[in-house]
C-alpha cells in the first residue's frame, strides 16, 4: 500500500528552499503544490458536496498560509513547524488492513455503548455493531452520507467552519475526503452513548484530514464519546474539523479523550452552534499526546441556551497542549461555564486562552470561566489568558485563573498521618484534576476516567491491554 500512497516529499524538494528553514511560506507551499498535483485524485475519491468548497479553500489557503504566532489565537503554537515535515497522505482511499475489534478493546466497564471506529479518516463499516440506535439515528461515513443524503449534508457541511480566516480550516477543506456523520432526528432521545474510537494506523508517517459533522435536531438528545488513539509508532499529523449543530431544546454531551503518543500532532477545530433552550456539555481530556491544539468555538444563537465546557490536561515530557476557546453570546439570556485544569511536569508546555464575547444585545448573560494550573518543574511552562469582551451592560461575567503549586499544609497533614510524600502529592494532584472529571454526568464513564487519570499520574501507560502498542 505504500506505493499507492501519495508522498509529499517530491513537492518539497521541488521547492528549493534553504535547508533547515521551516518558514511559513515553505510549509504552506508544499501543501498548495500537493493539492494542485492531486486535485483530481482527491475529488475522485470523495463526493461532490465535499468537493464543492475545495477551490475556494485553496484560494483562501494561498492567501492565508499557516497561521503564525503573531496571530492572537495562535500565539502559543508554532503551526508551520508542525506541518513542515514529510507526511504521507492516503488520498487514493486505499483500504488499510485492520480489524479494530481485534486490536482494540477500550471498553468502559459497566457502560454499554454503541461502538464505532474511525480508522484514520475512514469510517469503519466492515463489522458494524447490531443497530442499537433508535430509528432514524445515523452514525456513518460522511462520504457515504454525502451521496445518500445530499440535502442533509448540503444544509450543514462547511457552513460554520469557514475557510476565509483560518488557514487550518482551509487546508482541511482542501484535503478532507471522508469522516464521520452523526444525525439525531427531531425528538429522538439516544439513551445509549455513542462511542467513536478514532484510530491512527499507518506503516509510514501519515497525515490525516478528518471531518466530523454532528446534527442534533429539535428536542433530540445524545451523548457522544470520542477516544483518540494511535496504534502505530509513527509520526501522525491530524487535522480535524468538527461542526456541531444543536437544535431547539436539544441536548448534547460530547466527551473527547486523547490518548495518543508523543509523535502525534493534532489540530482540532470544533464549531458548535446552539439554538434556543439547547444545552451542550463539551469535555476534552488530554492524557497522552505530542502536540495538541484544540480550538473550540461555540455560538449561542438562540436564547436560554446553556454551554458547559470542561478540560483536563495532564502533560509531562515534552507534551504541548494548547486549548483555545471562544464562546460567542449573540443573544440574551444564555449561560456559559468553563473550567480548565492543567497539571504540567517535566518540560511540558500548556496554554489556555478562553475568550467570552458578549455582543451588544446579549443582555442577561451569565458567564463564568476558570482556569487553574499546577506547574511541577521549572522547565514546564504555562500560558494562561482568560479573556472577557463585553458589549452589553446587564450581564454577570467573571473569570479567574491561577498558576500555583500543591498546598504545603495539605501535604504536611497527610505525611503526618503516615502517607508517603510521593503518594500524598499524587493524591493532591488527583483531587485537583478530579474537579473536572466530576462534571461528567455518566457515572461509569466518570469512574473510568478517574481510573485512567490515576493510572496516568502513577506513570503507567493507561492503554488497555488490547492495542498493539501495549503488547
Partner 1 sequence: MEEKNRDNELLREIADKKYEYGFTTDITTDIIDKGLSEAVVRLISEKKGEPDWLLDFRLKAFRYWQTLKQPTWGHLDMPEIDYQDISYYADPTAQKGQGAKDKGQEIDPELMKTFDKLGIPLEERLALSGMAVDAVMDSVSVKTTFRDRLKEQGIIFCSITEAVREHPDLVRQYLGTVVPYKDNFFAALNSSVFSDGSFVYIPKGVRCPMELSTYFRINARGTGQFERTLIVCDDDAYVSYLEGCTAPMRDENQLHAAIVEIVVMNNAEVKYSTVQNWYPGDKDGKGGVLNLVTKRGHLRGRNSRLSWTQVETGSAITWKYPSCVLSGDGSQAEFYSVALTNNYQQADTGTKMIHLGKNTKSTIISKGISAGRSQNSYRGLVRVGKNADGARNYSSCDSLLLGNKCGAHTFPYMDVQNPTAVVEHEATTSKISEDQLFYCNQRGIPLEEAVGLIVNGYAKDVLNKLPMEFAVEAQKLLGVSLEGAVG
Which residues, 6 or more positions from 235, have their beta carbon under 8 angstroms from its beta carbon?
85, 87, 205, 206, 263, 264, 265
Taking the complex as a whole, the smallest distance from the CB of residue 89 to partner 1 amounts, in Å, to 36
> Residue 121 corresponds to which cell in the numbers above?
479518516
Which residues, 6 or more positions from 295, have their beta carbon under 8 angstroms from its beta carbon?
73, 268, 269, 270, 324, 325, 326
Taking the complex as a whole, the smallest distance from the CB of residue 81 to partner 1 amounts, in Å, to 20
Which C-beta is closer to partner 1: that of 48 or that of 379? 379
> Residue 397 corresponds to which cell in the numbers above?
461575567
> Residue 252 corresponds to which cell in the numbers above?
448534547
Taking the complex as a whole, the smallest distance from the CB of residue 15 to partner 1 amounts, in Å, to 29
Which C-beta is closer to partner 1: that of 263 or that of 381? 381
Which C-beta is closer to partner 1: that of 2 or that of 379? 379
Sign of CA dihedral 142, 240, 215, 126: positive
Taking the complex as a whole, the smallest distance from the CB of residue 365 to partner 1 amounts, in Å, to 10
204, exposed or middle or buried, with CB in 10 Å at 0-12, 13-18, 19+? Answer: middle
Interatomic CA distance for residues 433 and 455, integer angstroms:
13
Question: CA nearest 184: which of 146, 137, 246?
Answer: 137
Residue ranges that bind partner 1, judged by CB under 8 A: 72, 360, 363, 373, 375-405
**Backbone dihedral region for residue 65 (phi beyond 0: left; psi -120 to 50: alpha; all else: beta):** left
Taking the complex as a whole, the smallest distance from the CB of residue 318 to partner 1 amounts, in Å, to 15
Taking the complex as a whole, the smallest distance from the CB of residue 404 to partner 1 amounts, in Å, to 4
Which C-beta is closer to partner 1: that of 76 or that of 123? 76
Which C-beta is closer to partner 1: that of 105 or that of 396? 396
Which C-beta is closer to partner 1: that of 400 or that of 420? 400
> Residue 171 corresponds to which cell in the numbers above?
487546508
Interatomic CA distance for residues 227 and 285, integer angstroms:
10
Taking the complex as a whole, the smallest distance from the CB of residue 361 to partner 1 amounts, in Å, to 8
Which C-beta is closer to partner 1: that of 157 or that of 457? 457
> Residue 27 corresponds to which cell in the numbers above?
510549509
Q: Measured at the alpha carbon of residue 177, what is the angle toward residues 174 and 183, in degrees to the nearest 5?
A: 115
Which C-beta is closer to partner 1: that of 7 or that of 401? 401
Interatomic CA distance for residues 251 and 423, integer angstroms:
40
Q: What are phi and psi of 303, to 5 degrees?
A: -65, 160
Taking the complex as a whole, the smallest distance from the CB of residue 400 to partner 1 amounts, in Å, to 4
Taking the complex as a whole, the smallest distance from the CB of residue 411 to partner 1 amounts, in Å, to 14
Q: How far is CA 129 from the centre of its chain?
A: 25
Which C-beta is closer to partner 1: that of 273 or that of 345? 345
Amino acid at each position: 500500500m505504500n506505493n499507492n500512497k501519495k508522498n509529499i516529499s517530491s513537492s518539497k524538494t521541488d521547492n528549493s528552499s534553504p535547508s533547515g528553514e521551516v518558514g511559513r511560506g515553505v510549509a504552506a507551499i508544499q501543501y498548495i503544490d500537493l493539492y494542485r498535483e492531486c486535485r483530481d485524485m482527491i475529488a475522485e475519491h470523495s463526493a461532490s458536496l465535499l468537493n464543492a468548497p475545495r477551490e475556494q479553500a485553496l484560494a483562501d489557503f494561498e492567501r492565508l498560509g499557516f497561521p503564525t504566532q503573531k496571530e492572537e489565537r495562535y500565539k502559543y503554537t508554532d503551526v508551520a513547524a508542525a506541518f513542515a515535515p514529510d507526511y504521507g497522505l492516503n488520498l487514493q482511499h486505499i483500504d488499510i488492513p485492520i480489524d479494530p475489534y481485534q486490536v482494540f478493546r477500550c471498553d468502559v466497564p459497566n457502560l454499554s455503548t454503541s461502538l464505532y471506529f474511525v480508522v484514520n479518516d475512514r469510517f469503519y463499516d466492515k463489522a458494524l455493531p447490531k443497530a442499537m440506535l433508535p430509528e432514524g439515528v445515523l452514525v456513518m461515513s460522511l462520504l457515504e452520507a454525502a451521496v445518500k443524503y445530499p440535502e442533509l449534508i448540503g444544509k450543514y457541511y462547511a457552513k460554520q467552519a469557514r475557510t476565509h480566516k483560518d488557514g487550518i480550516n482551509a487546508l482541511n477543506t482542501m484535503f478532507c475526503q471522508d469522516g464521520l456523520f452523526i444525525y439525531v432526528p427531531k425528538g429522538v432521545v439516544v439513551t445509549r452513548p455513542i462511542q467513536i474510537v478514532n484510530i491512527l494506523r499507518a506503516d509510514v508517517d501519515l497525515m490525516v484530514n478528518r471531518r466530523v459533522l454532528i446534527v442534533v435536531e429539535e428536542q433530540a438528545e445524545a451523548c457522544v464519546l470520542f477516544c483518540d488513539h494511535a496504534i502505530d509508532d509513527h509520526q501522525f499529523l491530524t487535522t480535524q474539523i468538527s461542526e456541531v449543530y444543536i437544535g431547539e431544546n436539544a441536548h448534547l454531551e460530547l466527551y473527547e479523550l486523547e490518548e495518543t503518543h508523543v509523535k502525534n500532532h493534532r489540530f482540532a477545530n470544533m464549531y458548535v452552534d446552539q439554538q434556543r433552550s439547547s444545552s451542550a456539555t463539551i469535555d476534552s481530556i488530554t492524557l497522552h499526546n505530542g502536540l495538541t491544539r484544540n480550538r473550540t468555538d461555540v455560538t449561542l444563537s438562540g436564547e436560554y441556551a446553556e454551554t458547559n465546557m470542561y478540560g483536563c490536561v495532564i502533560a509531562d515530557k515534552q507534551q504541548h497542549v494548547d486549548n483555545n476557546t471562544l464562546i460567542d453570546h449573540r443573544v440574551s439570556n444564555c449561560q456559559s461555564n468553563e473550567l480548565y485544569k492543567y497539571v504540567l511536569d517535566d518540560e511540558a508546555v500548556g496554554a489556555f486562552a478562553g475568550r467570552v464575547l458578549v455582543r451588544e444585545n446579549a443582555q442577561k448573560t451569565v458567564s463564568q470561566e476558570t482556569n487553574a494550573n499546577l506547574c511541577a518543574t521549572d522547565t514546564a511552562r504555562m500560558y494562561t489568558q482568560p479573556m472577557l469582551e463585553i458589549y452589553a451592560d446587564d450581564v454577570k461575567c467573571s473569570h479567574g485563573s491561577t498558576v500555583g503549586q500543591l498546598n504545603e499544609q495539605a501535604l504536611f497533614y497527610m505525611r503526618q498521618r503516615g502517607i508517603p510524600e510521593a503518594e500524598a502529592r499524587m493524591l493532591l494532584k488527583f483531587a485537583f484534576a478530579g474537579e473536572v472529571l466530576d462534571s461528567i454526568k455518566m457515572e461509569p464513564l466518570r469512574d473510568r476516567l478517574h481510573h485512567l487519570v490515576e493510572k496516568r499520574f502513577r506513570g503507567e501507560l493507561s492503554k488497555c491491554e488490547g492495542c498493539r502498542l501495549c503488547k
